[in-house]
Amino acid sequence: MNQYETASSTPICDRLRKSGNWNPNWEPFAELDPDWTEKFMVMGLTPMFSGVLDPKTIEFIAIAVDASCTHMYAPGVRRHIRKALDLGATKEEISAVLQCVSVLGIHTMSLAAPILLDELASAPTA
């Protein structure tokens, strides 16, 4: 066994639950298919466990993912901001992360505004 394995068939999921990093929204997946959920968590968390990125950078990425317009998971944003601050992150660094991720929403306008202009141009006038 390596340092992350236990006698459980879902050691990563168990570790997330024990550390308070388990999203309760994952519980239905885990109940329906614990093996799939474990594999999914291993895939997603391997970069964090690899040591390639420093812990503060990992927290910045987690903040960005949880705050993104496709995720918007407030408990995760709060947890990762708290961890980043504990690791010495400044409010400016965290603000920069949030500013970077906020541009994801601009694609709505980049896609839809030209379509709207096209449709307005081809619409019959009233």
Same domain, residue pair 25 and 75: no
Whether 123 and 90 share a structural domain: yes
Mean pLDDT of the chain: 89
Contact 38, 10 (CB under 8 A): yes
Q: What is the pLDDT of residue 90?
A: 96
Residues of the chain with pLDDT under 50: 1, 5-6
Residues 6+ apart with CB under 8 A from 14: 6, 8
Q: What is the pTM of this model?
A: 0.75
Looking at the structure, do residues 63 and 89 belong to the same domain, yes or no? yes
111 and 81 in a single domain? The answer is yes
Q: What is the pLDDT of residues 80-115, one digit of tens each?
A: 999 999 999 999 999 999 999 998 888 878 888 898
Number of independent structural domains in the chain: 2
Residues 110 and 61 in one domain: yes
Same-domain status, 66 and 44 = no
Same domain, 44 and 85: no
User: 34 and 90 share a domain?
Assistant: no
Predicted local confidence at residue 6, as pLDDT: 45
Residue 31 domain boundaries: 1-50
Residues 41 and 64 placed together within one structural domain of the fold: no
CATH of the domain at 99: 1.20.1290
